[in-house]
Chains A and B, each alone.
Chain A
Amino acid sequence: MGAKAKGRWLVVAIPYLWLLALFLVPFLIVFKISLSQDAIAQPPYFPTFDLAEGWAVFKENFSELSFENYGYVLSWDNEFIEAYVSSLVIAGISTFLLLLVGYPMAYAMARAPKSIRPTLLMLVILPFWTSFLIRVYAWIGILSPEGLLNQLLFALGLIDNPLQILATDTAVYIGIVYSYLPFMILPLYSTLEKMDETLLEAAADLGCPPLAAFWKITWPLSLPGVFAGCLLCFIPAVGEFVIPDLLGGSDTLMIGKVLWTEFSVNRSWTVSSAVAVLLLLVLVVPIVLYQNVQQRELEGR
């Protein structure tokens, strides 16, 4: 192998091996633990992947695997299934709301004078650079019963008693829409900005009213952006943990929160691993879709 080929090989090998060791192997371990019994998987947890002991021990460990934890997670008397469903519902509704809020903004940005577009873009990205935790935290002060929103509504004479918004699902929706908005706007903006405006002029010349032109031309052309934005928001929203924990109530069920509780409070590593594997299975289809969108976006240029 020449020096050139060796260099080429190294460029691939370094990130590849890193990801294998710190991304793929950890998953295999999660999978393995999800198939173990609690006694051997509870802290202090002994490594079952001890390669020094050879293949025989490995095989022996393998024969002890069981699907017990999955049975436990998927049985009807547990809150897990409910949590999966409610996570999907909350993420779905949030994504829809994000589209409702984000589309008009992205549209207006793409139609803004060219000279101010970079500034607008910067204004959208700036909150994304500020801490996610801080932005969620800011809403606690606004939504709490004695918070600013209630004070405002009270001062305007719209309410007599404070509205309970914090610690409800509404607060979770507000939190998710607020935190994920840049993720929705950016892909939408980039497809809308690329759009050829002469198509709209042609439609107008042919007598198409603006609203119909939007629906027949702009919307279909922006679908790749809609698709990318929705996936980019939906997938992490399903596993969201901080927002339901800080803004949601005790009855807000989301699988990320359940996983964390199972892990840190009940200290059952096997069950939380099984929850994680199942969460991943729920997300496999959206993640694969996202990957295809991303791949096409990068290679299609």
Chain B
Amino acid sequence: MDKKLSPFNVTSLVFGFTFLYLPIVLLVIYSFNASRLVTVWAGFSTHWYGELLRNQQLLDAAWVTLRVAFLTACFATVLGTLAAITLTRYGRFLGRTMFSGMIYAPLVMPDVITGLSLLLLFVAVNFDRGFWTITLAHITFTMCFVCVVVQSRLVTFDRSLEEAALDLGCPPFKTFFVITLPIILPAVVSGWMLAFTLSLDDLVIASFTTGPGATTLPMRIYSQVRLGVTPEINAVCTILIGIVTVVVIAASVITKRQEVERQKAERLAAAG
């Protein structure tokens, strides 16, 4: 059934992917440049990676970023999943329109508005700004992304499985953990990962909601980038790209394997 791509389609794919990947590839190549000048190639060297390990400020920022992202992803996954259940299962309830509005609005809201409004909230309630304010802000905007991801899985969910469990006397809470959660797990996991990377990536909201003592990696990179391009920053970026690539590929392999297993189990169940 597979047809060959027309030359036009091949061309647009080649150009498109070159456009998407060339800048990243160049950045990685130049992180191994021996020269301090970013644009002149002076031979291969891992000098800048060594520099990086001695840069305490960058390491501290990376540590803050990872902790924020981890906490954010965990809380946002729980809140986002609850919100997704609410939106797909609860039909009409008082304030539903407002609830779905509050879920979809942060997805597209410009970061500057979200950041400014959260900062003003933290100031108004006199909350010390720093690590925790960044985390709260990140949970708030990432839970909406988690919700959309989980929701798209829940709408295609076969509810008869849950009903069967309930009919057989399984309490609702247990039904959720035994039946529902395992089935929507791939979506929950990708929601977690999405929240994690969105938090790692965020510059604007973190800059607004931070206080003394909490600088995230994007904030540190940003302040250095404005002073000029350096091979050291290229090296940080390369490491980040490497980590993300490995994690994403691993995750997709795992979900694919799970999917295959699930289909196999379903076929067996149908045959049996």
**A231→B86 CA distance, assembly (Å):** 26
On B, residues with C-beta under 8 Å from A are 1-6, 8-10, 12-13, 16-17, 19-21, 23-24, 26-27, 30, 38-39, 79-80, 82-83, 85-86, 90, 93, 95, 99-113, 116-118, 120-121, 123-126, 136-137, 139-140, 143, 147-148, 151-152, 155-156, 172-173, 197, 200-201, 203-204, 218, 221-222, 225-226, 229, 233, 237, 240-241, 244-245, 248, 252
Q: Could you tell me if B112 and A18 are in contact, using CB atoms closer than 8 angstroms?
A: no
Q: Which residues of B contact A203 (CB under 8 A)?
A: none
Q: Which residues of A contact B17 (CB under 8 A)?
A: 123
**A98→B80 CA distance, assembly (Å):** 30
Q: Could you tell me if B24 and A127 are in contact, using CB atoms closer than 8 angstroms?
A: yes
Q: Could you tell me if B21 and A241 are in contact, using CB atoms closer than 8 angstroms?
A: no
**A178→B252 CA distance, assembly (Å):** 24
* B24, B106, B117 interface centre (most CB from chain A within 10 Å): B117
Q: Could you tell me if B245 and A279 are in contact, using CB atoms closer than 8 angstroms?
A: no
Q: Could you tell me if A130 and B110 are in contact, using CB atoms closer than 8 angstroms?
A: no
- A246 on the interface (CB 8 Å rule)? yes
Q: Could you tell me if A30 and B117 are in contact, using CB atoms closer than 8 angstroms?
A: yes
Known contacts A14-B79, A114-B2, A301-B156: A19-B116 contact under CB 8 Å: no
On A, residues with C-beta under 8 Å from B are 4, 7-8, 11-12, 14-16, 18-20, 22-27, 29-30, 33, 43, 45, 47-49, 101, 104-105, 107-109, 111-115, 120, 122-127, 129-135, 137-142, 144, 146-148, 151, 178, 181, 231-232, 235-236, 238-242, 245-246, 256, 259-260, 263, 269, 272-273, 276, 279-280, 283, 286-287, 290-291, 294-295, 298-299, 301
Known contacts A18-B140, A138-B26, A141-B38: A291-B201 contact under CB 8 Å: no
Q: Could you tell me if A298 and B3 are in contact, using CB atoms closer than 8 angstroms?
A: no
Known contacts A22-B136, A23-B140, A239-B111: A294-B104 contact under CB 8 Å: yes
Q: Could you tell me if A141 and B116 are in contact, using CB atoms closer than 8 angstroms?
A: no
Task: Select which of A125, A276, A283 is within 8 A of B117 by beta carbon.
Answer: A276
Q: Which residues of A contact B30 (CB under 8 A)?
A: 141
Q: Could you tell me if B104 and A30 are in contact, using CB atoms closer than 8 angstroms?
A: no
**A126→B118 CA distance, assembly (Å):** 30
Q: Which residues of B contact A15 (CB under 8 A)?
A: 79-80, 82-83, 86, 99, 143, 147
Q: Could you tell me if B123 and A45 are in contact, using CB atoms closer than 8 angstroms?
A: yes
**A11→B17 CA distance, assembly (Å):** 43
**A112→B3 CA distance, assembly (Å):** 7
Task: Select which of A112, A126, A290, A295 is within 8 A of B108 by beta carbon.
Answer: A290
Q: Which residues of B contact A263 (CB under 8 A)?
A: 116
Q: Nearest chain-A residue to B200 (Cβ)? A: A131
Closest 3 A/B residue pairs (Cβ): A239-B110, A108-B9, A26-B117
**A124→B20 CA distance, assembly (Å):** 8
